[in-house]
Structure 1
Amino acid sequence: MDVTIFAPSPSLTVTIEEHGAGPDIHVHAGGQGVWQARMLRRLGAEVTLCCTLTGETGQVAQHLLEGEGFRVVPIARAGRGAAYVHDRREGERTAVAESEGEPLGRHELDELYGVTLREGIASGLAILSGPDGESTLPADTYRRLAADLRTNDVRVVVDLAGDRMLAALEGGIDLLKVSDEELHADGLLDDVDAGDDAVIEAMDELRRRGAKDVIVTRSSSPFLVLDGRTVLEVTPPELQTADTRGAGDSLTAGVSASLAAGAPLREAVAMGAAAGALNVTRHGLGTGDTETIERLRQAVRIRTVRGAPQEHDDSQGRVSPEGLAALAETAADAGRDEEGQA
């Protein structure tokens, strides 16, 4: 179960918590691709991170990433890297300092593109994630990379919005994960409180633009999945929320882990729903243990809202014996990895 992640510029994160008699300071690597990688590792996947690591913060981030068991393929450069310091001693995140880092130069981008293409072809499944900074790299990079990966028989999963999402769609992708709020901001959905019909219409449009399958998450409602021409409604188990950040990335990771293990999309979204649900109960982004995710997966409800009814449509996300065996075998080695937090 190998997955390559295009993570253009991971961040160095410093979070201050209140603990006992004084502040408790946590230092980790973070960013969308890292949070996805962290959950993938918890689910037993071998993860390759293709990224640019900049300056002193990049050197520290690389050490932390390799310590979590990721295979890091870095493009090292001098300069100011992405980083933040957040104070959470009062219960809410307060930004003390944040840096998006510097945009990638032409030569650095060419090198990053090349190693991502190479590693993606080797793994067979690639996730294209976004950088922290809006100006880090041109959006058209995602169009070219999606097209070149798929030309080489790589399954491409995209968790993006805005110009990057639209560019990736133009290149063609296998699975897009996006939120209703992001679709609204991009003008593809008139209202974030729109009903199923409006969201399904937007999903059909995304399919026409280049996505084979689509997941649309909704903060207060079950999320919808366009699986070919069939639309599924997926209801994760309801749990108490500690921190919602990273839940969508855990969902993407759970789906990708199952797809890499050979599961069909219907089973994969059940695993993703369970991983995302567990993540909101935790302060560590992209964290959770495999056994709990597996138990939560049994509580995921899936029903068909458009298309031919599926056999055993009362399924609660049960994975086929082959898919579950593949997940269990790879998870056994990684199930007790040290837990990373952002």
Structure 2
Amino acid sequence: MTLSDVALFAPSPVLTLTIEDQAGRPDIHVHAGGQGVWQARMLVTLGVSVTMCCVLAGETGTVLRHLIEDEGVTVKAVDGTGRNGAYVHDRRDGERVEVAEAPSDPLTRHELDELYGLTLSAGLDAGAVLLSGPSDHPEAGEALPADAYRRLAADLRAVGKPVVADLAGDRLAAVLESGLTVVKVSHEELLADGRAATDDQEALIRAMHEVHDEGAQHVIVTRAHDPLLVLADDVVRIVRMPRLQSADTHGAGDSLTAGVTATLARGGDIEDAVRLGAAAGMLNVTRHGLGTGDAEAVLKLRDLVEVERLERSGS
């Protein structure tokens, strides 16, 4: 019997403090954040049980544990020796302005070994495994070696688990070396990694086929406000959805990944997974809370998602 539908590898969650304006007065919000947290939040919203595997350390780690568990996520954490990262954003003028940010400390070899074991154990009990990256801080790249992702993906695939990754750069290359079920990547990341020469559709489709050939069974590419591209079973799909008014686009891609993972964890196919993911991402942009949404609204929006299959000659 599975302990959770999804095991989520989120090595270094961060503590977020956001200043909003409420009737002319500062309104301060304290939340757990980072890619894995935002993905977990949407998974829980969709009724999926989640076990998050992470390292929690220092004062920020102590606070993060309570915040994450309060959102209905099961936490399997390594007690680290350093600290988790944190940031303060001022959004009183409608845009995110960074006031201060402190990165997470790099993981020690012992912490990484323990985290690896926790994740493998949780993955064996789950319907699917989602691999997320560390924070966006420039120093986060030093917190966790890319090879850890390669080994995790390889071991989880070896025991027959669907593996989903929302990664780029060296980490994407690492998981592709092992092979995995779904890769979600943005067109900006394909350009930055040198996988696509331009952002036109044909160039992106060529890059998607290359990512597939390197080890991804299915490939999803987000294109900001343009329709999603999906490569599955050697067929490219264009995924269109209504464009809703945007309050904050941050976290939309993470909600998309969560919706895809939720469907696969319960035995759904890739096209159904993309429909739910697209709906979750669509709703996310209408809200200020990252990874938030309403399950009923997501399911209604799913019915409005259109999937068009292109000819196989697009490869």
TM bracket (short chain): over 0.9
Aligned to 1:332: none
Cα distance change on mapping 1:230 and 1:80 into 2, 3 Å: same
How far apart, in 2, do the equivalents of 1:174 and 1:114 lie?
A: 21
How far apart, in 2, do the equivalents of 1:190 and 1:16 lie?
A: 39
CA-to-aligned-CA distance 1:24-50 (integer Å, 9 cap, x gap):
100000000000000000000000000
Of 135, 140, 146, which aligns to 2:142? Answer: 135
Of 99, 103, 123, which aligns to 2:102? Answer: 99
Aligned to 1:334: none
Shift of 1:54: 1.4
Of 207, 225, 238, which aligns to 1:233? Answer: 238
Q: Which secondary structure state, in structure 1, belongs to the residue aligned with residue 125 of structure 2?
A: helix
1:71 partnered with 2:107: no
CA-to-aligned-CA distance 1:36-73 (integer Å, 9 cap, x gap):
00000000000000000110000000000111110000
Aligned to 1:124: 127
How far apart, in 2, do the equivalents of 1:221 and 1:95 lie?
A: 28
How far apart, in 2, do the equivalents of 1:267 and 1:81 lie?
A: 36
Of 175, 184, 189, which aligns to 2:196? Answer: 189
Aligned 1:236-275 pairs, distance under 5 A: 236-275=241-280
RMSD: 1.1
1:110 partnered with 2:110: no
Shift of 1:271: 0.5
User: Percentage identity across aligned positions?
Assistant: 58
Aligned to 2:19: 16
Q: Is the 8 A contact 2:230 2:236 kept in 1?
A: yes
Of 131, 145, 152, which aligns to 1:145? Answer: 152
Q: Is the 8 A contact 1:178 1:216 kept in 2?
A: yes
How far apart, in 2, do the equivalents of 1:140 and 1:77 lie?
A: 20
How far apart, in 2, do the equivalents of 1:96 and 1:54 lie?
A: 23
Q: Is the 8 A contact 1:13 1:27 kept in 2?
A: yes
Aligned 1:134-213 pairs, distance under 5 A: 134-192=141-199, 194-195=200-201, 197-213=202-218
CA-to-aligned-CA distance 1:190-220 (integer Å, 9 cap, x gap):
012x12x221111110011110110011113
Shift of 1:22: 1.2
CA-to-aligned-CA distance 1:84-106 (integer Å, 9 cap, x gap):
01111111111111011110000
1:304 partnered with 2:309: yes
Aligned residues: 306
Q: Which secondary structure state, in structure 2, belongs to the residue aligned with residue 134 of structure 1?
A: helix
Shift of 1:305: 0.7
Of 207, 223, 228, which aligns to 1:218? Answer: 223
Q: Is the 8 A contact 1:150 1:156 kept in 2?
A: yes
Shift of 1:307: 3.9
Q: Which secondary structure state, in structure 2, belongs to the residue aligned with residue 273 of structure 1?
A: helix
Shift of 1:21: 4.1
TM-score, reference length from structure 2: 0.95
Q: Is the 8 A contact 2:35 2:133 kept in 1?
A: yes
List, as ranges, runs of 4+ consecutive aligned residues in structure 1 with deviation greater than 3 Å: none
1:77 corresponds to which letter in structure 2?
G
Shift of 1:221: 1.4
How far apart, in 1, do the equivalents of 2:54 and 2:22 lie?
A: 33
Shift of 1:171: 1.2
How far apart, in 2, do the equivalents of 1:237 and 1:274 lie?
A: 9
TM-score, reference length from structure 1: 0.88
Aligned to 1:313: none
CA-to-aligned-CA distance 1:245-301 (integer Å, 9 cap, x gap):
000000000111111122111111000000000000000000000111111111111
Q: Is the 8 A contact 2:162 2:181 kept in 1?
A: yes
5+ residue gaps, structure 1: 309-342
Q: Which secondary structure state, in structure 2, belongs to the residue aligned with residue 283 of structure 1?
A: coil
How far apart, in 2, do the equivalents of 1:252 and 1:172 lie?
A: 18
How far apart, in 2, do the equivalents of 1:124 and 1:263 lie?
A: 11
